[in-house]
Structure 1
Amino acid sequence: MLRLLAGEAARRFGARAAVDSGSLVLSFADLDRLSDGVAAGLAHQGVRMGDLVALALPDGPEFPICYLAAAKIGAITAGLRPDRPVPLSRFDPALVITAPGLLPPLPGLDVLTLPLGERPARGEPYGAPQEDPSRHEPYDIGRLRGLHRAERPPPPLPPDPWRPVAVVFTATSSGAPKGAVFSNRQLEAVRAHGAGVRWGTGDARLLSRPLGHLTFMTRLPVFLQTGRTAHVLLRWEPAAALRVLAEHRLSVLQGTPAQLAGLLDHENSRPGGRVELPHLRLVLSGGGPPADGLIRTLRERFGVPVCNRYLCTEAGLGLGTRPEDPPEDAEHTVGRPRDGVNLALRDPDGRALPPGEIGEVLLRSGAVTDGYYRDPGASAGIFTKDGFVRTGDTGYLDHAGRLSLVGRSSVDTQSRA
């Protein structure tokens, strides 16, 4: 699936930026071409269909190149996040691809370290802005040294909706890492929801989460089909986020409640006052319930609709409010199920609850995970008999079908995505 989408995106969008990290820009054409060479390199390294490839890389062009390359040969990509350490030996990856200084020694594992430069000094993130941020360096293929091969990749694999593509690690309440598995069929469900039959209609976005997060791992098909540029920050900082939004005239600001609140605090303390964002048309808050008053404050500050987004990692797709909804929807609820998503509220005995009664929040759609990677016991515990995934949240529905969250249940599932 990703191989076909990447090739078509390269044909349609060519030199348009697919990933912009501030100092490096990778076009759609180069993304497809370079991932072909890395796919050949992975095969040369002995990676085969069904093997796990772990990516411990800074957010930048190398992550999507390697992710696409693995998908092109039928391997599974696990994106590692700095905030959620994973004991890799337990998951037995065929290859770990990393950059200098990001991982401790991994005896017994095959590790390939890309020459991306030494880890920056404390307080100085990767991809720090250049003196003239409008001038980007051409992508240096030497950054893929030891992995890229100047030859054609292995031939395309036959279509298989059940072939695993991605593993997304999240932390549970017990702290034990689990990896939700997403196959071609889940990525297709996300693609159909986010892009439908449209090509080239995606507006550029500043990503608020690491590339190893669900947001990018399962939505790469949407970025490819819509031609959406992914602007990435190696570390979320309010000043850097505002700079990217203003310089690139982005129309959507998205972030967690904590990130958005931090952005408001930064503006209030900024000596130069507010940053003008005349092209902004929407603010999206997701990843947890917003604090009281945050949604209203964001709407008043930016003068645009503010929407909530809600899902858990295992669900793939979830709920949300819409720009045309009454403002109080986003202030007090996380909205209604998105297209193709079923929502249920049930008591501990599995009985459906009427509006107003608090129960366990369950979600079901074509994007729900296949289960946890190499953990059938934990996988069995997150599904109901009729295919709903347990989010670990409790809440209630109002008369209009809007969900309000009230807390966490005793089910040991992932944190909100």
Structure 2
Amino acid sequence: MDRPWLAQYPQGVPADIDPGAFSSLPKLLQRSFEQFAERPAFAFMGKRTSYAQWERDSAALAAWLQAQGLRAGERIALMMPNVPQYPIAVAAALRAGLVVVNVNPLYTARELEHQLLDSGASAIIILENFAHTLEQVGGRAGLRVVLVASMGDTLGGVKGTLVNLVVRHLKHLVPRFSLPGHHRFPRALARGRGLRFTPVEARSEDVAVLQYTGGTTGVSKGAALSHRNLIANVLQSDAWNQPALRRHPELAQMNTVCALPLYHIFAFTVVMFLAAYQGGMIVLIPNPRDLKATIDELSHYELHCFPAVNTLFNALLHHPDFGRLNTSKLMLSVGGGMAVQEAVARQWLERTGCPICEGYGLSETSPSVCCNPTDTDHFSGTIGLPLPSTDMVVVDDDGRVLPAGERGEVAVRGPQVMQGYWGRPEDTAKAFTSDGYFKTGDVGIIDAQGYVRIVDRKKDMILVSGFNVYPNEIEDVAVSHPGVLEAAAVGVPDPDSGESVLLFVVRSDPTLDEAGLRAWMAERLTGYKRPRRIEFRDELPKTSVGKILRRSLREQMAQRQGARP
């Protein structure tokens, strides 16, 4: 197919990458373990762990997992925030031939049970802070191995003990739990060091990860991502980032902020594995919502790469301690997970000198498929250009490819696209076109130069008197008001127009009132797009990554309507 976007590629970015450069993720990791052995691979609470130590710890844990009877192809759930045990467990599982099942530690027992049963997981590694949730699932999940980690496990000595005391007894972050027969992470590592580890040779097409969709548009499904899928996306991202990385060629190692949760595919691939491939160091932030603690931790490092979502960029900019961060050599700021708002991008550039390059991806695509050029210095309002080896089209409801500038469903094809949904052949068949394009469910436009603009999710679109209203547009106008911190627009039933717009707003200026905001929006939106109602709130519901959940707001409104006589 024609690829008009190739003409817009920055100099040196290839049209294609070789996804066969490594036969498996363990092969990629082994090369990094050897080549960068003495470098720090990740930092946590001031302690740095080298690539050599990462290799030794993951080999010991892999040996222990094998000794528990786990065999290649079995699934192992990882339910932890950004703590050192996560990269150790990922490397151990993959080296033992297991399939990683990433689990959000904030899941309820119902959500956890669904994911364990759907994936058929045989084992789980879980931080003790969330073990009470697993206790509620009980034996229904059929787990054979339960390994419990603590926040201070890898810190060792007095510091590790002190951290665990504070977490358990001062902050009361570890609810009581009972998991008969469970094992403890430090002891498993210690025993594993005395066992023989037998490496498992994975094939490139073997499933490496089951990445569950967020469930924002229906039942959460496991995207089966192969070793080849993830390797391809690492290499695509590395090639795409090179123009930005050339800004400071004198740097011996790149420091990447890891505030996005590693159980999310964005951080899993584009932070952890990309940094490993490049020999970089990731700074693990277990709870980015604690902005003071996040800034305290990051203030100890020179920051070079900062992947985040719009809400985190925005929150940091508004924090009084933001100036403590050393962004003098910040080369790359990547926005994903949700739309980056122009006001946030403008302020970030003013404060750091580094533009936010908005990208786009999905769990089903490992995740990245599109990104703005990393050598740009302006906000485009688009999600950029398709990455190397990636084809993108816009199709109508019948699957026909639409010409440039036409609005339709965005579809993507490339080596990073999943094999399918785990155990769901019918859903998999529905998700692909006849010629192998994955249908994203997002409404978008591809212009003549190849730049892609996402208009909205299909199911988020609001129909007002027959006119399509896209929440992103309403929200962008709202947050451009200096008194608005966050906004979310949803459609609600309306007897006159079918649906009308309800806007939820979190104020940054407490004096802002409804009349003032309405006047602002009336100047910027035509009549049918203006909110019929505005509701001010202290906060908006979000996913663990910081993406605002419109679905949750719609459900709240439906319940409120149902409760009325």
The TM-score normalised by the length of structure 1 is: 0.85
Q: Determine the structure 1 residue equivalent to 2:67.
A: 44
CA distance in 2, matches of 1:79, 1:233: 17
Could you list the per-position Cα deviations for residues 26-63 of structure 1 after superposition, in whole angstroms to 9, with x for gaps in the alignment?
A: 21111111111111111111111110011112321211
Alignment partner of 1:323 out of 374, 387, 396 = 374
The reply to whether residue 230 of structure 1 matches residue 282 of structure 2 is yes
- Residue 166 (structure 1) aligned to one of 196, 209, 218: 209
Instruction: Quote the offset at 1:120 in angstroms.
Output: 4.5
Separation in structure 2 between the aligned mates of residue 143 and residue 231 of structure 1, nearest angstrom: 25
Q: Residue 391 in 1 paired to residue 436 in 2?
A: no
Compared with structure 1, are the counterparts of its residues 234 and 361 closer, same or farther at alpha carbon in structure 2 (3 Å cutoff)? Answer: same
Evaluate the alpha carbon distance shift between residue 174 and residue 355 of structure 1 in structure 2; reply closer, same or farther with a 3 A threshold: closer
Equivalent of 1:179, from 219, 222, 230?
A: 222
SS at match of 1:293: helix
Unmatched tracts of structure 1, length 5 or more: 127-139
Letter in 1 for 2:425: P
The Cα offsets for residues 357-379 of structure 1, whole Å up to 9 and x where unpaired, read as 21101111101011122222222
Q: In structure 2, how many angstroms separate the alpha carbons of the residues matched to 1:280 and 1:190?
A: 23
Mapped to 2, the partners of 1:49 and 1:212 lie a distance apart of: 21
The 10-residue stretch of structure 1 (213-222 or 363-372) with the greater mean CA deviation from structure 2: 213-222
Checking the alignment, whether the CA contact within 8 Å between 2:125 and 2:149 is kept in structure 1 is no
Query: Residues 292 and 7 of structure 1: is their aligned pair in 2 closer, same or farther, counting only changes over 3 Å?
Result: closer
- Structure 1 residue 280 corresponds to structure 2 residue 335: no
Matching residue of 1:25: 48
For the 8 Å contact 1:9–1:29, the answer to whether it is kept is no
Name the larger-Rg structure.
2
Equivalent residue, structure 2, for 1:203: 254
The one of 62, 87, 106 aligned to 2:85: 62
Aligned-partner Cα distance in 1 for 2:232–2:346? 32
Contact (CA 8 Å) 1:11, 1:29: kept in 2 or not? yes
1:215 alignment partner in structure 2: 266
Q: What amino acid sits opposite 1:253 in the alignment? A: F
Asked if 1 retains the 8 angstrom alpha-carbon contact of 2:283 and 2:298, the reply is no
Deviating more after overlay: 143-152 vs 178-187 = 143-152
Of residues 108-117 and 370-379 in structure 1, the stretch that sits farther from structure 2 once superposed is 108-117
Rounded to whole Å, the distance in 1 between the matches of 2:149 and 2:185 is 10
- The answer to whether the aligner puts 1:362 opposite 2:411 as a matched pair is yes
Does the CA-based 8 Å contact 1:364-1:388 persist in structure 2? yes
Question: Is the deviation greater in 10-19 or in 146-155?
Answer: 146-155
Cross-structure match for 2:148: 114
SS in structure 1 of the partner of residue 125 of structure 2? strand
Report % sequence identity. 26
- How far apart, in 1, do the equivalents of 2:397 and 2:205 lie? 32
2:554 aligns with none
2:443 is paired with a residue whose SS is: strand
3-state SS of the aligned residue for 1:154?
coil
Structure 1 residue 352 and structure 2 residue 395: aligned?
A: no
Displacement, 1:264?
1.2
SS at match of 1:114: strand
Encode CA deviations 1:74-99: one digit per residue, 9 max, x unaligned. 11011211245432233221111213
1:189 lines up with 2:241 in the alignment: no
Instruction: Indicate the residue corresponding to 1:372 in structure 2.
Output: 421
* Inter-partner Cα distance in structure 1 for 2:361 and 2:170: 34
* SS of aligned partner of 1:266: coil
Question: How many residues are aligned here?
Answer: 393
1:217-275 per-position Cα deviation (integer Å, ceiling 9, x unaligned): 335443322111111111113334434443210122221001111111113xx5x9665
Whose helix proportion is higher, 1 or 2?
2
2-structure distance, mates of 1:8, 1:276: 31
User: Bigger shift: 256-265 or 279-288?
Assistant: 279-288
The structure 2 residue matched to 1:153, chosen from 197, 201, 213, is 197
2:299 to 232, 246, 253: 246
AA aligned to 2:121 is P
Residue 406 of structure 2 contacts residue 445 of structure 2 at CA under 8 Å; is this kept in 1? yes
DSSP-derived class of the 2:55 partner: helix
Alpha-carbon spacing, 1:283–1:174, altered in 2? closer, same or farther (3 Å): closer
Matched, 1:291 2:341: yes
Q: 1:401 aligns with which of 437, 447, 450?
A: 450
Asked if the contact 1:24–1:61 (Cα under 8 Å) also holds between the matched residues in 2, the reply is no
In the alignment, the residues of structure 1 paired with residue 431 and residue 253 of structure 2 have an alpha-carbon distance, to the nearest angstrom, of 33
Of 162-171 and 80-89, more deviation after overlay is shown by: 80-89
C-alpha displacement at 1:156, in angstroms? 3.8
Residues 307 and 53 of structure 1: CA distance in aligned 2, closer, same or farther (over 3 Å): same
Q: Secondary structure at the match of 2:444?
A: strand
Structure-2 separation of matches of 1:168 and 1:202: 29
Matched, 1:99 2:124: no
Specify which structure has the bigger relative contact order, considering alpha-carbon pairs within 8 angstroms and separated by 6 or more residues.
Answer: 1
Task: Say if 1:245 and 1:277, in contact at 8 Å, map to a contact too.
Answer: no
User: Are the aligned partners of 1:6 and 1:28 in contact in 2 as well (CA < 8 Å)?
Assistant: no
Residue 309 to residue 125, structure 1, CA distance change in 2 (3 Å) = farther
In structure 2, what is the Cα distance between the partners aligned to 1:356 and 1:122?
57
Q: Which residues in structure 2 correspond to 1:249-264 (within 5 Å)?
A: 249-264=302-317
5+ residue gaps, structure 2 = 1-23, 152-163, 175-183, 243-250, 461-542, 548-565
